[in-house]
Amino acid sequence: MSGIEGKVVAITGASSGIGEATALLLAERGAKIVLGARRPERLEALAARIEKAGGEAAWARTDVTRHEDLSGLVKLARDRYGKLDVLVSNAGIGLISRLDDLRVEDWEEMIDVNLKGVLYGIAAALPVFREQGFGHFVNTVSTAGLRIVPLQSVYAGTKNAVRTISEGLRQEAGDSLRVTVVSPGAVRTDFAERMDPAVKDQIDKMMEIALSPDAVARAIAFAIEQPDGVDVGDIVVRPTAQG
């Protein structure tokens, strides 16, 4: 029996990249997975893939900018599997640009998804975790918040806000709840698809050294599999070639 087997894990941003890789790995290790993302066709296909491999999965279209969608995802976990052990708040976007470009709508979208999406997850899961007497928040942040560089100030700001909130949550959580932040570096995902073409070219060059999403999934699994009473607070995982 692993420390993951039998746990019920809800994952946002589960339709691709780190979320998808995490869902597959945890399901392989015996977790029951509840998938949330905005692309239902991808979720349905992923759930079918997990079930075909002998795992268990449920899914719901989830827009993390809507509090009610996060509440629905948590409710689905409890209705289907009777509990929720872990909420992985992984949904995120990186619409990076120069501040001079004044892409205010992009700033607002990053705040809504990267920051408010995590807060809505906390609002949905924290009362459940308190009632159960156990629970684990895993929040995906970024190494962009550890080394601030041009173009990424708003993106890094949203991720560092989540880092700060997570630490406050950890201190308030008491001895029965766990809180982990995972800071990935460059990872091969569709992260750059909506960026300005000139910026996207820079990010695409970083993909030459980028990690597979599986590497981040293993880091998340490491935090989840720890025995009760062990809280892995902060994990940084990046390519050895990343400066």
- Catalytic positions, written as ranges: 155
Query: Which tokens belong to 28?
Result: 């392989």
φ, ψ of residue 43 in degrees (nearest 5): -65, -45
DSSP state letter for 57: E
What is the distance, to the nearest Å, from the Cα of residue 44 to the centroid of all Cα atoms in its chain?
Answer: 19
Residue 33 · residue 9 · CB < 8 Å: yes
Q: What is the DSSP letter of 137?
A: E
111, with CB counted inside 10 A (0-12, 13-18, 19+), is middle
**Collapsing DSSP states into helix, strand and coil, what is residue 112?**
helix
- Contact status, residue 231 vs residue 203, Cβ threshold 8 Å: no
